[in-house]
Structure 1
């Protein structure tokens, strides 16, 4: 997934830089539409990569999972049950699956990684609305609004998945701690 995102960022950025030149030379409206599309895609992908990098640099998958922000209430969990998160979460892509691998990380490290992933996706969801400002320059507000809403919704699905998984992971972590030798 990481490789795909980087490649998409490079290609969409290249399109953003090259297609306006074709528009200027040919005055063909299709080139401008494609340039705006590539620019929007480039923004969304590059912004995601930069937000993830910023959080990883600052947090390094360390978070206080007992913080109120990360707590999942029974009501919230009931909503997730109604959304049938258990059915669709396995089909969701993971940027770096190794962060959630219990063979290489403790359950506590995995729980902390879910906290960081949640923050990353919440931040991305908010930043997904910035392209709406491009409507000032290019018009076509509905296109920018629709793409922003869809992008934010996709990221909120990842937030929901992290919050749905965290209570189960905390139970596994607590079980692991109880089974661990006390060192006496």
Structure 2
């Protein structure tokens, strides 16, 4: 992702925080069920941005030593090739953004580094998938469990797309690595 796109994303995040705070104040002063639902949706969206910008990255850095391309979790499973064909991963994988494109280019890095970067990216998005469901806890105080559930599910599905891309690409990079290593 280009620097300008990253800056735009951070600005959008900040604006969303301001909108959410405004909606919170408005719904506290004069309750409106529609605005309250919009508030919950924007609050959950901010939470999803926040876990992606901070929590997931921190967690992955704590477990970084466990994140290696040859670890069991990151090895290709027997059912995966068929799953990728069913989901047409090869056709849509290039349409999603990459935060740091240079981390995944074999022309810029050693293959082993790229493989481990791919595993780190996969683990990062898997952590995000799990953390995506934390906002459901807020339904204890604010109700609207279905709004929290659907926004959380949407966040988890979004991250699963990036997990699929990493798992789809890694065997190909590993094959290249094994050919060039010898």
With the shorter chain as reference, the TM-score category is 0.7 to 0.9
- Residue 112 of structure 1, aligned match among 109, 116, 128: 116
If you compute each CA radius of gyration, which structure gives the higher value, 1 or 2? 1
Paired residues for 1:61-76 under 5 Å = 63-76=67-80
Aligned to 2:43: 39
Which string of whole-angstrom CA distances, capped at 9 and with x for unpartnered residues, describes residues 134-156 of structure 1?
A: 22222222211111112111111
**TM superposition shift of 1:27:** 4.3
Query: What is the RMSD computed on CA atoms of the aligned residues?
Result: 2.3
**Which runs of no fewer than 5 residues in structure 1 stay unpaired?**
179-184
- The number of residues matched between the two structures is 178
Counterpart of 1:136?
Answer: 140
TM-score by length of 1: 0.85
User: 1:15·1:39 contact (CA, 8 Å) conserved in 2?
Assistant: no
By how many angstroms is 1:25 displaced?
Answer: 4.1
State the distance in 2 between where 1:98 and 1:4 align.
20
Q: Distance in 2 between matches of 1:146 and 1:27?
A: 22
Which gives a bigger RCO, structure 1 or 2 (Cα 8 Å, sep 6+)? 2
Aligned position for 1:154: 158
Runs (5+) with no aligned partner, structure 2: none
Structure 1: distance between partners of 2:65 and 2:180: 20
Range 34-43 or range 114-123, more displaced: 34-43
